[in-house]
Amino acid sequence: MASTPVRRAIAVFLLTAFLAPAACKSAGPDPTFAGPETPPTPSASASPSAVASPSPSAKPTPAGFKSLGWYMARVPQFPQAPTPQRVGLPESGSAIHWSRVPTTHKVAFITIDDGALSRKPEVIEFIRQAKIPVTMFLNSPAATEHTAYFKAIQEAGGMVENHTISHTSLKGKSYDFQKREICGSADKLEKLFGRRPTLFRAPFGEKDATTLKAAHDCGTQAVFFWTQTVDKGIVRYQTSEKVVKPGDVLLMHFRPALMDDLLGALKAIHKSGLTPALLEDYVG
């Protein structure tokens, strides 16, 4: 039975190991730290890359620390995604507002918002190695301050989209105010990442008709709400039917538990018989 100081010492050791340079993470023997809350799944043994697969029977650690290998070993095996088919957008002076993509393809979309609060380095590797298609709705000051981080996710296949400058609720604000927030952020993100965002998410999901007009005038094709939220690894559904449906959009944030959120989203999508796909392959 480990005493508290011993547990603390182990935790410090593990934390130190965890903070080693990213290049070391997937190469050497990979100590695995299975959290007690998630039983290993038999389907999770094969990873899509050559990363060392840890034993799913690894013991939990006092710190609850889970390595990249732990997450990789639990990524479900998805059927091959269908060839994407773009959805038609009505010609209008306003951007369309959607909670989900009107597609019958058996796909769902993972979106990650904000960017200022937490940026764990292992998230980049997880997205790259597990080939997770993600769309990032970023606030431009966070993107400016941490460009290298988001560029690394972009290089891993992620897309950068627009989430305003100041993360202020836009609903009820003047056209000029909203346009400044949306165009100002789009201009900055285009400069930083080499592509002008075509999608927009309003802070807190709060928008009005002016938002959709201003978004359109800033080059936005679609404004997205969401169908599920994911926090601390738990997927929350908006209906009592706990299933991810074709075209659904899952929302999570750059928060400390993003690794758990990504894994939770992948598991929920898999359980629903769907495959994750890139939002921009369908819209924009």
Q: Which residues are at the interface with Zn ion (CB under 5 A)?
A: 113-114, 203
Between residues 120 and 128, which has the closer beta carbon with respect to Zn ion? 120
Give me the residue whose beta carbon is nearest to Zn ion: 113
Closest distance to Zn ion from the beta carbon of 241 (Å): 26
Three-state secondary structure readout of 190-250 = HHHHCCCCCEECCHHHCCCHHHHHHHHHCCCCEEECCCEEEECCEEEECCCCCCCCCCCEE
Closest distance to Zn ion from the beta carbon of 202 (Å): 9
Between residues 158 and 203, which has the closer beta carbon with respect to Zn ion? 203
Contact partners, residue 115, CB within 8 Å, separation at least 6: 136, 138, 139, 142, 143, 146, 150, 163, 254
Between residues 75 and 258, which has the closer beta carbon with respect to Zn ion? 258
Distance between CA 195 and CA 159 in Å, rounded? 9
Closest distance to Zn ion from the beta carbon of 36 (Å): 31
Between residues 166 and 174, which has the closer beta carbon with respect to Zn ion? 166
Q: Which helix (H) or strand (E) holds 252?
A: strand 249-253
Closest distance to Zn ion from the beta carbon of 114 (Å): 5
| SS3 state at 44 | helix
